Every structure is written in C-alpha cells, then in structure tokens.
Copies of this chain bind each other. A is one copy, B any other.
Amino acid sequence: MHRTAVKKVVLEGVLDANDALAEANRQQFDHAGNFVVNMMSSPGAGKTALLEHTLDRTLGKVRIGVLEGDVQTTLDADRLARFHTPIVQVNTDAGFGGECHLDANMVRSGLAELPLHDIDVLVIENVGNLVCPAEFKVGEDARVMVYSITEGEEKPLKYPLMFRSADLVLVNKVDLLPHLHFDLELFLRNLDAVNPGVERILTSAATGEGVDEWCSWLTERAGV
C-alpha cells in the first residue's frame, strides 16, 4: 500500500510538469503556425507505413515535418528520409530499456532540431504502445490513432483511454480482412462504446485504400 501511495503523488507531479511543458510546446507551434498531430498505436500497427504514403501524396503541396519517437534505433526516421522532409528522431532509451511513450519534455527536446517556421504540419510518431502515450499531452492539435485489424475486435474495451482520446481512428490493414476472423462491425460498435461517433477511416498501407481520405482530413484540419 505504501508504494502505491508514494507512486501516485509522484505521478501527479510529473503530469503537472508535463502539462506545463505541453502548453509551452503549444505556444511554440502557434507561433510557427503548425498543425500538430500526435500519432499513436500498438507496435507494428502501420504508423510509419501510412506516413510514407502521406508524405508521398502531399509532397510539394503540404510541408510536413516529422518527429519520430522510438525506444531505440532510427529505423523509422531512416525509412522516411527519402522524402527529404524535416525529420528528427527522439529516442527514449535511458535505463531499463527506455520510456514507453513520448512526453512533452521529450518532444520539446526534439523541436530545436526542426525548422518549425518552414512546416505546415508536424506529425509526432509516438512510441508503439496502447497505454501510456495517451496519458501525456505533448501540445498537439489532434490525436490520430492507428489501429490494426489484426489486433482483435475487443481492444477499445481493453484500452479505453487511448481510443477515447483519439480525434480520428485509422482502421488499418483492411486488405487483410479476407484472411482474418475479424468482425469489423463488432469492432466499430466497441469503438463507439468508448468514443461515440469518433471519426474513422478504413485504410491499408498495402493497397493505398483510404490514404486519400486520410490526407484530405489532414490538410483540411491543418487549413492548408
């Protein structure tokens, strides 16, 4: 019991500091005129693959910058480097395998490396994790969750905070629908149970399905 009590107090302190830093990030984004998306998902749900499509389709029309969050490696940033857009990698690795999420301070540490005034949209690709990233504001305008249909229909009920905090859910890997025992209607009912009416787009990075719709959402919301 003692441990739990101590931990709670510390966590509240951390979240307060986080909110203050998220607000500072927000001011910086407003000053530079950035629309900022916090992109979250399980590991391997397809964030980077969808980002590759996004950069490909918006090249020359929207100036997109990327802040890549990972525990270790620059593999995702390396995948996106060919688009020659501003990218910064933030690794959370520090003791015990690294933090399992980005917080406002980690994002802030990467902002100095980005030419924010030359960017319309900043996409923050969070660490792959369905729990903790949802707990930390980083100063974003919108939260976009990528959900892979390979993960099962019940995930909104098991990880409600993440699904509830999303402004848009990209229901990804729908090209695999014929090969899975996956009840899409049931998943969407579960999604509506925790976040009624939340916007959702069916996508596939393999076939490109839904990517145009997602890019339209992004540019409309960004006002570019």
Residues of A within 8 A of B (CB): 3-4, 6-8, 10-11, 14-15, 17, 42-44, 70-73, 75, 94-100, 105, 127-132, 134-135, 148, 150-152, 154-155, 157-162, 173, 175-176, 179-181, 206
Is there an interface contact between A155 and B44, defined as CB atoms closer than 8 Å? yes
Cα–Cα, bound, A4→B96 (Å): 14
Flag if B161 contacts A131 (CB, 8 Å): no
Q: Is the CB of B129 within 8 A of A97?
A: no
In the complex, what's the smallest C-beta–C-beta distance from A209 to chain B, in angstroms? 15
Chain B nearest CB, measured from A190 CB (Å): 10
Which B residues are in CB contact (< 8 Å) with A4? 94
Is B181 in contact with A179, judged by CB distance below 8 angstroms? no
**Option from B8, B11, B129, B180 in Cβ contact (under 8 Å) with A130:** B129
Query: Chain B residues with Cβ under 8 A from A94's Cβ?
Result: 4
Beyond A44-B151, A155-B43, whether A100 also contacts B131 by CB under 8 A is yes
Cα–Cα distance between A129 and B131 once the two chains are bound (Å): 8
Identify 21 residue pairs between A and B in the complex whose beta-carbon atoms are under 8 Å apart, listed by A's number: A7-B14, A8-B95, A10-B10, A42-B42, A42-B43, A43-B130, A43-B159, A44-B150, A71-B131, A71-B158, A71-B159, A72-B159, A72-B160, A75-B154, A97-B160, A100-B100, A100-B131, A128-B159, A129-B131, A175-B179, A176-B180
Residue of B nearest to A7 (CB): B14
Residue of B nearest to A165 (CB): B97
CB contacts (< 8 Å) of A129 on chain B: these are 100, 129-131
Let me know if B131 and A98 touch, CB within 8 A.
yes
